[in-house]
Every structure is written in C-alpha cells, then in structure tokens.
Amino acid sequence: MKICYYPGCTLKNHAKNFEDSTICALNTIGVEVEELSRWNCCGTVFSLTTDDLIHHIAPIRNLIRVKEANYDKVMTVCAMCYNTLKRANERIKSDPESMDILNNFMDREEVQYDGDVQVFHLLEFLKDEIGFENLAKKVVKPLKKLKIASYYGCLLVRPKEIGLDDMENPTILEDLMETLGGKPVDFPYKTECCGAYQTVDRPDIIADRTNRILTSAKDRGAEMVVVSCPLCAFNLDQRQKHTVEKYPEFKHIPVLYFTQALAMALGCPEETLRFDLNFIDPKPILKERGLI
C-alpha cells in the first residue's frame, strides 16, 4: 500500500523526530509513504471570519498538489495541518461560491479544485485502514505497561465536524497505546488547550497550562505523555524549562510524539526515534524498562 503524505513545516525541522518515527513505523508495517514533491505551509490556523477567503488559499493549494500527484487522499500527522487542511476543504465544499472565487484567484493552477481530496490523519489510518488488532500483531517490543497519558489538545478533536474522535472524551490515542502494550492513563486535561501560539509572546501563560496539564497527568500515575501536535509538544516539552522556573515544585515528565512510541514498539532502530530532539530525555525510563 502506498499513501500520499503532507508533512507540514515543523516536521522538517523542530519535529523531525515526529516525521522520522512516522515514516519508519509505516514502512515497518508495509506502507510506503510518498511525500508530495511540492507543498507549502498550510497556514497553521483556519481563518474563522466569514469573508477571509484569502487565507484558505494556502491549504487548498496543497490539495491541488495532491491531485497533481494523482491521489485522492492525503495523510497528515501534525494536528494543526490536519485541522487546517480538512477544515478549509470542508469550508469551500459547502460553499460553491467561495470555491469559484478561489479557483478564479488561482488562475495559474492547472487543476480546477472542486473539494474532492480527502484529508486524513495517521491515527485514523491506523485505526480504520490497518486496524488496531492487525497492528498489535506487528508489535515486536511491547511497551511493558509503561503508563502513558494521551494528550489530544484542541485540533484533533474540535470542531466536531472535523475532529477524529469524541470531542469531550476521545480515546483513539489511549486505544493505540494499549495496542502497543502500554497502560493508558486517563486524566481530565487531555483536551485542554496548551496555550498554543501564546508561547511566542506570553510564555508565562504556557508555564501555567503546562504545569496544570502535566501535573494532572503525573498525579494520575503517568510516566510519559504522548502528543500529535508539534506546537503542543513544544509547549509541553521545551516549555517545561519555564514551567519549573515559575513553579519550582513542578516535576519533569517526558513528552513524546505518539509515533515515537509506535515506532519503538514496532522495532524501529533508535536513530529513527530521534530522542535527541525531545527536551526532557525519555531515554532513562525507556532504558529502565528495557525498551531501548
């Protein structure tokens, strides 16, 4: 099986561990990944004002690239890219007038876009196309009951028509972690916003959120947290440095991309897991369990 892949900007630099672990995991289960030969930033956020069509151009252009590569579906792993691409697509599909305006604006594109590309997330692919029961058979290094809290943040689950699971109580990540042999830890802040882009000029707000979210996960017994968004990862992992400055009693906890846990369980070599890019080093706990 071969799938078309849209990486998004951050997977090429700060979140290279997200990309490398994704590709190794998919290759290990026999899925070939073809990255779009040409793509641009999705815009990161979906424009919420009714008349702001210009900002839907970036995501829609990427969907045109998918059609040019002869695919009708595209996979994303970044929660923000997933949300922005899918929502822009739904937005113009439901409004033929704006679709015409966009197509007219992009008059140098050879493909007229009509909303027919499907955007899906790796989690949906693993659950619906591969099946967690089949994935379980490919696990060579079960996660040995490692206690894992799954953090969804906002954009995997909201709004309802875009989200890939229940808005208030999603479980897809927990189900995946269980499939990999981990022990999911439920906690009340799994869909609470990490503060997102406030990290640029208000890292103090992020310290509050990170403290609240991670302390809750730790109090429930979590030994690590998994995420699917490079911005959540930055706020919950790198910003632990600011968190401990503001809250000296805060205790560090490793934050991984869910694909790092997946690739590890599927037996991918350590160099594809790229733990060097995780700020709080997960290696001590993984070594203790004999996982690396």
Binding positions for other proteins, rule: CB under 8 A: 8-10, 13-15, 41, 43-45, 47-52, 55, 78, 80, 154, 158-160, 167-168, 191-193, 195-201, 205, 208-209, 230-231, 234, 238
CB of 175 vs other proteins, minimal distance in Å: 21
Determine the Cα–Cα distance for residues 81 and 275; give it in Å rounded to an integer.
23
CB of 84 vs other proteins, minimal distance in Å: 10
Axis crossing angle, helix 172-179 with helix 258-265, rounded to the nearest 10: 20
CB of 134 vs other proteins, minimal distance in Å: 32
**Measured from the CB atom, is 157 or 266 closer to other proteins?**
157
Determine the Cα–Cα distance for residues 68 and 66; give it in Å rounded to an integer.
5
What lies within 8 Å, CB to CB, of 184 at 6+ separation is: 148, 149, 150, 173, 174, 175, 177, 178
**Measured from the CB atom, is 28 or 198 closer to other proteins?**
198
**Measured from the CB atom, is 193 or 292 closer to other proteins?**
193
CB of 57 vs other proteins, minimal distance in Å: 13
Q: How many residues does the chain have?
A: 292
Decide if 177 contacts 251 (C-beta within 8 A).
Answer: no
**Measured from the CB atom, is 29 or 167 closer to other proteins?**
167
Q: Which two tokens stand for residue 67?
A: 């059609």
CB of 243 vs other proteins, minimal distance in Å: 15
**Measured from the CB atom, is 21 or 179 closer to other proteins?**
21
Which phi and psi angles does 279 have, rounded to 5°? -70, -50
Determine the Cα–Cα distance for residues 84 and 42; give it in Å rounded to an integer.
7
